[in-house]
Amino acid sequence: MTKQEVLAEAEKMNVKYVRLCFTDIHGTIKNVEIPVNGLKDALDNKTIFDGSSIDGFARIDEADMVLYPDTRTWLLLPWENSQYGNVARIICDVFHPDGRPFEGDPRYVLKRNLKKMNAMGFHRFKIGVEPEFFLFNRTDEGQVTLDFNDHGGYFDLAPVDGAEDCRRDIMLELQKLNFCMEASHHEVSPSQHEINFEFSDALEACDQLQTFKLVVRNVAKRHGLHATFMPKPLANINGSGMHTNCSLMDKAGNNVFYDENEPYQLSKVSRQFISGLLNHARSFTAITNPIVNSYKRLLPGYEAPIYVSWSESNRTAMIRVPSTRGRGTRAEVRSVDPAANPYLAISVLLRSGLDGIENDVEPAGPVAENLYTLSREKREERGIQNLPENLKDAMKELSASTLMQETLGRHVYEKFMIAKAQEWDEYRAVISKWELDRYLKTM
């Protein structure tokens, strides 16, 4: 949409307020709400905010930031409509007052890496995400609990799946927003759900994912439930992942991952891309699995990948190549979780794969065995590494990677490392219930 089309739409749909949204380095959606009479100035890039108040953004001596709305992301928010009029949202890029893109804007980080892809002759990076989430009960007073809303299992139907109405309403709200959803279903754990996106360009996919999280949380609240994308809210059950399907397209719209004459019908480019993902997996895990809790999910026995390997069908491998060929040929990265900042996560996956292409590196053969049953010695013989076991180890791997630092840019890398060091220190200082139960009476 053009600026004039946005203004006309706002008037036609009786929009009274507009949310100017952007994302911080942690993946948290921020916004400035303006009355509709300020929309024209906003579309002329005249909205200034204090960046020093946003974690990971600007220092106090360079605090002013400017929002540049991306008119393609204009969207009415039906769940916020009221008797006074409608509310709309538009996603913004963040700039310095002198017109330079802000290096700490995650959306800019992704755009910069997409330009690198274009310079290598690829036209589009296509993404399909499969975010999982839990729906927990609230008390009558609205307080969040860890009580299951249902005790369903994989693909279960009502009445076992007690949140089916909520999940259906989420899908209906997304359809109102013209989202293209592929499927929704109950996941393995009680109260766990998954809604799959159709493939779209990387930037659009990340924008949609941020909006998706807003929709899920708001619809859940309307049903008296709490939706969480925390990777592992409860022990002894499967956690929530966000499998991320990737493919590269050329200017003609062809999927360059497919070649019917190559082994597994995977082109040399696709195999190089997979090799890049494997080679940099340990260094990008801090970005794709960015919180302390992420590593409670990455444990053997809970369907989460913990070994750096690839396979055509083996779901214990970190990267799976689904059986679909032709336009649907893709690499599914199974380690990513929904706590990740999507713009940064997609950036590190893309640059890792491109690095494999640039260096003409092909992976070892696919792994068919159940990796959970192989001994450490057997895995080491085959060169299969573990993913980092905790956030601190992941940060060490990230700090050792020149490619990842270049991918993120100096500003995001430094601010991210500071924030995660603080998170790890806070975590180390907490005395858990497990420690008290284990040691208090016996020591």
Residue 151 DSSP SS3: coil
Is 187 catalytic? The answer is yes
Name the active-site residue from 24, 132, 156, 164.
Answer: 132
Name the active-site residue from 96, 315, 382, 411.
Answer: 315
Please list, residue by residue across 303-315, b when 16 or more beta carbons sit within 10 angstroms of its beta carbon and e when fewer do. Answer: bbbbbbbbbeebe
Supply φ then ψ for residue 268, to 5 degrees: -60, -40
Is 243 catalytic? The answer is yes
Name the active-site residue from 150, 161, 173, 187.
Answer: 187
Name the active-site residue from 24, 130, 156, 164.
Answer: 130
Which amino acid makes up residue 332?
Answer: E
Name the active-site residue from 105, 150, 332, 355.
Answer: 332
Is 332 catalytic? The answer is yes
**What is the rounded distance in angstroms from the CA atom of residue 27 to the CA atom of residue 30?**
9
Is 105 catalytic? The answer is no
Is 423 catalytic? The answer is no
User: Which of 373, 390, 239 lies closest to 304 in space, CA to CA?
Assistant: 239
Name the active-site residue from 161, 194, 259, 397.
Answer: 194
Name the active-site residue from 124, 334, 351, 379.
Answer: 334
Q: How far apart are the first and last CA of the chain?
A: 67
**What is the rounded distance in angstroms from the CA atom of residue 413 to the CA atom of residue 439?**
39
Contact criterion met (CB below 8 Å) for 126 and 246: yes
Is 130 catalytic? The answer is yes
State the angle between helix axes of 342-358 and 268-288 in degrees (0 to 180), rounded to the nearest 10.
140
User: Which of 24, 230, 180 lies closest to 108 in space, CA to CA?
Assistant: 24
Is 138 catalytic? The answer is no
Is 194 catalytic? The answer is yes
Name the active-site residue from 243, 271, 280, 379.
Answer: 243
Name the active-site residue from 50, 182, 262, 358.
Answer: 50
Is 207 catalytic? The answer is no
What is the set of active-site residues? 50, 130, 132, 187, 194, 243, 315, 332, 334
